[in-house]
Amino acid sequence: MSMADRDGKIWMDGKLIDWRDAKIHVLTHTLHYGMGVFEGVRAYQTADGGSAIFRLKEHTKRLLNSAKIFQMDVPFDQETLEAAQREVVRENKLASCYLRPIIWIGSEKLGVSAKGNTIHVAIAAWPWGAYLGEEGLSRGIRVKTSSFTRHHVNVSMVRAKASGWYVNSILANQEATADGYDEALLLDVDGYVSEGSGENFFLVNRGKLFTPDLSSCLDGITRDTVITLAKEAGIEVIEKRITRDEVYTADEAFFTGTAAEVTPIRELDNRTIGSGARGPITEKLQAAFFDVVSGKSAQHQDWLTKI
């Protein structure tokens, strides 16, 4: 089914409209120059039979911070955008779903300067299962180190989840999947591990959890979730620069992200990671994550916003 041709409602500039009517002009500034910001958010069916959006406040705050970085004057406040996301899930009668809030620059004029153009906001939601496949969640995925380097922090401001930055991600993912892999791992400009094309990266070695520092990767909300859950489980978490050969010799590795959730990595560059299966610490953290997002865990109920 086409993303453009389906039933449902999309929240656009303050009101719900029919899905098929959510359109923009071909001369929209963001379409040409790439300066827009967005979020990926998930709602999960909860153990009590209801539905809740996971870490809605943090996602919405990051969306607005991304816009602030680019000096985009968003015409809606955080409370309004949070309410709109709940409304979109409710009006589309969704239990578990993916939400895509996006902020873009309008079509009043083109040229590098966007001064004077209208800032628009839309929120869509739809069912979306395991981003890297259900089998990937249990068996793990095969990953290739990309020939494309992740952005330098003075080229792109990595705290912003920006539309234009994802050209780099698309190129890396295309390259990896064309070579028969499931996903790409990108290095930073100094050759250290940065992140996947749309995921943060973790490895496990000798019972400790390692993840790259945030100098060249997105400050992921699922990343923060996993770090919190790991510390609560008594697992030491170390944020540091990671070399590619450290990944080759790791006991376990996995990706995290709103779309990817917690996805094990069984292989990098034709080298088996650990036993070549989902490792025990990965499995423990994955189970803890799904217990939290579904409301099965008594911990972190404040991370769930009921619909």
Q: Which residues pair with 289 in a beta bridge?
A: none
Range of the domain at 19: 9-126
**Is 116 in the same domain as 168?**
no
Q: Which residues of the chain have pLDDT under 70?
A: none
How much is the pLDDT for 78?
A: 99
Contact 39, 59 (CB under 8 A): yes
Tell me if 229 is assigned to some domain. yes
Tell me if 176 is assigned to some domain. yes
Task: Give per-residue pLDDT as tens, 184-211.
Answer: 999 999 999 999 999 999 999 999 999 9
How much is the pLDDT for 199?
A: 98
Report the domain count for the chain.
2
Token pair of 295, please? 């409301």
pTM over 0.85: yes
Looking up residue 280, the CATH number of its domain turns out to be: 3.20.10.10
**Is 116 in the same domain as 139?**
no
**Is 218 in the same domain as 188?**
yes
How much is the pLDDT for 1?
A: 75
How much is the pLDDT for 139?
A: 96
- What is the rounded distance in angstroms from the CA atom of residue 257 to the CA atom of residue 280? 20
Examine the fold and report which residue of 126, 154, 183 is the final residue of a domain before the chain moves on: 126
**Is 166 in the same domain as 196?**
yes
Active site residues: 161
Tell me if 105 is assigned to some domain. yes
**Is 88 in the same domain as 149?**
no
- What is the rounded distance in angstroms from the CA atom of residue 40 to the CA atom of residue 131? 12
Task: Give per-residue pLDDT as tens, 109-120.
Answer: 999 999 999 999
